[in-house]
Amino acid sequence: MISEPPPPPPPPPPKIEKVVQQPATPKPQAYVPPVVNPPPVVQSANAIQSVTSDPAPQPAPTPAPVAEAPKGPVSAKGNCSGSAVPDYPAKALEDEVQGVVSVVFTVGADGKFNGFSNVGFDGGIPPRYRSSFKSAISAALQGYTCRGSTSLTQEFSFKLDSGS
């Protein structure tokens, strides 16, 4: 007896892929501020009332201008109090060195001197005297109380009295 070969296995079931639809993202709603109605006006019994069919619309309030922070350093004059005059450096006074020192300095949140951003000397102050002028100005700035967290500028004039 010849046996028949077994029947071939059934084909695999077809793959079913699930199609998941993405939920539609809702469109953003525009913000509409709530309507605020003014309180009713109470009128006395003797007041004459006028009736209009269409009250005049109120003009839209104009926004207050935004004050921009000043660009760059601002003058220390008017923005600081307790401004002290720096001492004339002794060696510069002795050697009759005079001139103008322009400084840009920063002030911390507490309104106190933080340090120099820039120091400029006019041509009348030789390089060997510059550190003593800078130190004298730094000591004077320690006594300043200024508007906090700002960058300020000021000129210091070191001039000898010519009347001596």
The mean-pLDDT minimum among 37-41, 68-72, 89-93, 105-109 falls in 68-72
- Coil, strand, or helix at residue 102? strand
Whether the predicted pLDDT of 153 surpasses 70: yes
Integer Cα distance of 157 and 164 in angstroms: 19
pTM, two decimal places: 0.56
From the list 47, 54, 137, 49, the residue with the least C-alpha distance to 92 is 137
The mean-pLDDT minimum among 57-61, 130-134, 143-147, 155-159 falls in 57-61
Whether the predicted pLDDT of 115 surpasses 80: yes
Q: Which domains does the chain have, with CATH numbers?
A: 74-157 (3.30.2420.10)
Whether the predicted pLDDT of 61 surpasses 70: no
DSSP string, 70-87: PSS-EESBTTEESPPPPP
Q: What is the pLDDT of residue 98?
A: 92
Q: Do the strands 150-158 and 74-75 form a parallel or antiparallel pair, or are they unpaired? A: parallel
152 and 112 Cβ atoms separated by less than 8 Å:
no
156 and 137 Cβ atoms separated by less than 8 Å:
yes
Whether the predicted pLDDT of 2 surpasses 80: no
